[in-house]
Amino acid sequence: MQIKQLLGGLSVEVFLRDYWQKRPLLVRNAIPGFKDLIEPRALFALTGQEDITARMVREDQGGWDLLHGPFMRRDFPSSKSSVVWTVLVQELNHHLRSAEDLLQQFDFIPHARLDDLMVSYAVPGGGVGPHFDSYDVFLLQGRGQRRWQISAQTDLSLVDGLPLKILQHFMPEQEWVLSTGDMLYLPPCYAHNGIAVDECMTYSVGFRAPSAQEIATQFLIYLQDRLQLSGIYQDPDLQAQAHPAQISEPMLTQVEHMIQQLTWTRADIADFLGRYLTEPKAHVYFNPPDDMPDFGEFCQLVVKQGIRLAPQSRMLFHENQFYLNGEPVTINEPGLLELADRRANDGRELSRVYLQWLYESMGDGFVVWDKE
Ligand code: SIN
Ligand code: CO
């Protein structure tokens, strides 16, 4: 797929300079001939799995309601019901190779920022209501049509007491009907409302942007595990106090000095980021293969079948240190760069050390065969 086509004729540089995190971009025919990655029936079946994050939003005269998966057949309103509904499935890229491939098309944004591919299915009139998201999003239209209304409004107050975020005063400024293959990019906090014109599916490429509070909290946890401070509280010059309950100034000064020993370097921050940004989310787990070959067989198969990261795996690097799923990689071999950037190795000209590492990683379920 052509990136220029995907971005409506813009180069990545121009898109990043003029649109990314700044203003919406509508791209007609971003992916010519786009075909849904999954049929609605198969999607509904997927929502029954324990390892799927699925939500259902229903709307009727009684208002909005939100249900969390897994969903059984009986949870889906019947076609005769007057309820308007939509079902949303997060991390489709963990479950479908085609979804992972689609997400990869967006890697003109760094992997550290890319999050997941969500898909929604809606009956005519369905949607999640007028809202805003804290993250950038590319909304790619699958089957059917969806009317998108958007607004640059700064009033982002929400209706109280609802199970989902609905804007109190949505004032649409622009509106388009998107057809299959069309795409809308929205920067963070841009008010929007997508209403299914007919039975429709929409794919959302989502990003991650941790808050300063979240980063600092996680960094303090990281530091705590590595703290090596010297000294113990001592007071050979202790003076008699008028009030035994008082915390004295010398005590405060000594503790202040102790805490000032807490320092860190840019290298600590890089190490923290590598671990933190590749840490799998809490609900994600890996599936080691049932039929693990022995190492000799593995080395032969790798040439034919190639290797790729498991869809759930996250891999990043800084300078020459690589990180995979929350841990630093203990080797430094040329194949790692390709594996991190392209999420695959073609399996040729790999050193024994690297093959050994891949073999162990396959045993952990972190890498899989590229071609089965
Ligand atoms: C949807 O696909 O219905 C919701 C996507 C969004 O508004 O972020
Ligand atoms: Co949204």
CA of 204 to the centre of ligand 1 (A): 7
pLDDT of res. 135: 96
Q: Are residues 52 and 184 in the same domain?
A: yes
Q: Which helix (H) or strand (E) holds 174?
A: strand 174-178
**Domain count across the chain:** 2
Instruction: Examine residue 70 and say whether the peptide bond preceding it is cis (omega within 30 degrees of 0).
Output: yes
pLDDT of res. 62: 76
- The span from the CA of 109 to the CA of 209, in Å, is 12
* CB of 128 sitting under 6 A from ligand 1: yes
- Nearest residue (CA) to ligand 1, atom 1: 120
Which spans in the chain are helix H?
3-6, 12-18, 40-46, 97-104, 212-226, 249-260, 266-278, 295-305, 335-342, 352-363
Check if the beta carbon of residue 207 is closer than 8 Å to that of residue 112. no
Which atom of ligand 1 is closest in space to residue 86's alpha carbon? 3
Residue 235 in tokens: 């007071």
CB neighbour list of residue 292: distance below 8 Å, 6 or more residues apart: 362, 363
Check if the beta carbon of residue 143 is closer than 8 Å to that of residue 36. yes
Q: What is the pLDDT of residues 73-128, one digit of tens each?
A: 999 999 888 899 999 999 999 999 999 999 999 999 999 999 999 999 999 999 99
Residue 119 in tokens: 């898909």
Q: Are residues 144 and 170 in the same domain?
A: yes
| Domain range enclosing 290 | 213-228+249-372
- The span from the CA of 192 to the CA of 202, in Å, is 14
- The span from the CA of 368 to the CA of 372, in Å, is 9
Q: What is the pLDDT of residues 154-202, one digit of tens each?
A: 999 999 999 999 999 999 999 999 999 999 999 999 999 999 999 999 9
Mean pLDDT of 21-42: 98
* CB of 137 sitting under 6 A from ligand 1: yes
Q: Are residues 282 and 337 in the same domain?
A: yes
240 part of a folded domain: no
Strands 344-345 and 63-68: unpaired
For the beta carbon of residue 165, count every other beta carbon within 10 angstroms.
Answer: 14
**Nearest CA to 54 among 85, 89, 86?**
89
* CB of 59 sitting under 6 A from ligand 1: no
Check if the beta carbon of residue 342 is closer than 8 Å to that of residue 322. no
187 part of a folded domain: yes
Q: Are residues 147 and 82 in the same domain?
A: yes
* CB of 133 sitting under 6 A from ligand 1: yes
Q: Is the pLDDT of residue 34 over 80?
A: yes
* CB of 51 sitting under 6 A from ligand 1: no
pTM of the predicted structure, to 2 decimals: 0.93
Mutate to test the pocket of ligand 1, among 120, 137, 197, 205 (most ligand atoms within 8 A of CB): 120
Looking at the CA of 146, name the nearest ligand.
1
Assign residue 47 the CATH number of its domain.
2.60.120.650
pLDDT of res. 220: 96
- Nearest residue (CA) to ligand 1, atom 5: 204
153 part of a folded domain: yes
For the beta carbon of residue 175, count every other beta carbon within 10 angstroms.
Answer: 12
pLDDT of res. 347: 83
CA of 192 to the centre of ligand 1 (A): 9
Q: Are residues 221 and 197 in the same domain?
A: no
Q: What are the backbone angles phi and psi of residue 253, rounded to the nearest 5°?
A: -65, -45
Q: Are residues 316 and 341 in the same domain?
A: yes
List b or e across 193-227, with b for residues whose CB sees 16 or more CB atoms inside 10 angstroms: bbbbeeebbbbbbbbeeeeeeeeeebbeebeeeee
pLDDT-derived band of residue 61, with 50, 70 and 90 as boundaries?
confident
Q: Are residues 24 and 173 in the same domain?
A: yes
164 part of a folded domain: yes
Q: Are residues 221 and 194 in the same domain?
A: no
237 part of a folded domain: no
Mean pLDDT of 220-240: 94
CA of 351 to the centre of ligand 2 (A): 46
Q: Are residues 187 and 260 in the same domain?
A: no
Task: Count Cβ atoms within 10 A of the Cβ of residue 146 and give its class: 0-12 exposed, 13-18 middle, 19 or more buried.
Answer: buried
Assign residue 330 the CATH number of its domain.
3.40.366.30
Mutate to test the pocket of ligand 1, among 43, 64, 88, 184 (most ligand atoms within 8 A of CB): 88
Mean pLDDT of 342-349: 92
CB neighbour list of residue 92: distance below 8 Å, 6 or more residues apart: 37, 38, 99, 116, 117, 118, 119, 203
- Nearest residue (CA) to ligand 1, atom 4: 128
Domain end (from 207, 237, 260): 207
Q: Is the pLDDT of residue 13 over 90?
A: yes
Q: Is the pLDDT of residue 321 over 90?
A: yes
Q: What are the backbone angles phi and psi of residue 217, rounded to the nearest 5°?
A: -60, -45
Q: Is the pLDDT of residue 1 over 70?
A: no
113 part of a folded domain: yes
Q: Are residues 104 and 132 in the same domain?
A: yes
- The span from the CA of 179 to the CA of 31, in Å, is 11
* CB of 86 sitting under 6 A from ligand 1: yes
Q: Are residues 60 and 141 in the same domain?
A: yes
**Distance in Å from the first CA to the final CA of the chain:** 24
* CB of 127 sitting under 6 A from ligand 1: yes
3-class secondary structure, 45: helix
Mutate to test the pocket of ligand 1, among 139, 182, 198 (most ligand atoms within 8 A of CB): 139
Q: Are residues 187 and 221 in the same domain?
A: no
271 part of a folded domain: yes
Q: What is the pLDDT of residues 118-162, one digit of tens each?
A: 999 999 999 999 999 999 999 999 999 999 999 999 999 999 999
347 part of a folded domain: yes
